[in-house]
Homo-oligomer: A and B are copies of this chain.
């Protein structure tokens, strides 16, 4: 990786953390880097592994929780009961996620993607029910695996 690029990413990360009044620490930098380096979503386990056993499990849990609280990442529910995390777009703010896109789980490569351009549809509910949030998870084959 060229030095220039990593400086840029470092700056981006530092700004992101400052904007959310979070201390700039190794674990937070590393975990954010993992998210920036890749397109898909990450499960807690992925992060633990990819961080190279450098951080305590508890630190990873707490860091992810902090990121969710601050609106930096959002969670994606999946059928296999393993929460995945993905970076939020800019519209998310503390305590208020605007996560109106569809999520896609590839059954071949098992990656999870945010389809940021696919908005969740309106759901017409029966009388008496009112919706606060709509989660759509599509399972299928992704771009790469379909080739």
A residues whose Cβ falls under 8 Å from a Cβ of B: 75, 77-79, 81-83, 102, 104, 107, 115, 117-118, 121, 123-143, 146-147
Which 5 pairs between the two chains have the least Cβ-Cβ distance? Answer: A128-B143, A131-B140, A121-B121, A132-B140, A135-B137
A124 contacts across to B, CB distance below 8 A: 118
- For the complex, what is the distance from the CA of A136 to the CA of B129, rounded to whole Å? 15
8 new A-B contacts at CB < 8 Å, known A118-B123, A128-B142:
A81-B83, A126-B143, A129-B138, A129-B141, A132-B141, A133-B140, A135-B135, A135-B136
Instruction: Give A107's nearest chain B residue, CB to CB.
Output: B132
* Distance (whole angstroms) from the CB of A76 to the closest CB of chain B: 8
Say whether B129 contacts A142, CB under 8 Å.
yes
Min CB gap A84→B, angstroms: 10
- This chain: copies in complex: 2
**Quick one: which of B102, B137, B142, B147 contacts A77, CB cutoff 8 A?**
B137
Chain B nearest CB, measured from A118 CB (Å): 7
B121 with A132: CB separation less than 8 A: no
User: Are B138 and A134 interface neighbours, CB within 8 A?
Assistant: yes
Q: List 23 A-B contacts (CB under 8 A).
A: A77-B78, A77-B79, A79-B83, A81-B81, A81-B82, A102-B123, A104-B125, A115-B125, A121-B121, A123-B138, A126-B143, A128-B143, A129-B142, A130-B140, A130-B141, A132-B140, A132-B141, A133-B139, A133-B140, A135-B136, A135-B137, A135-B139, A137-B137
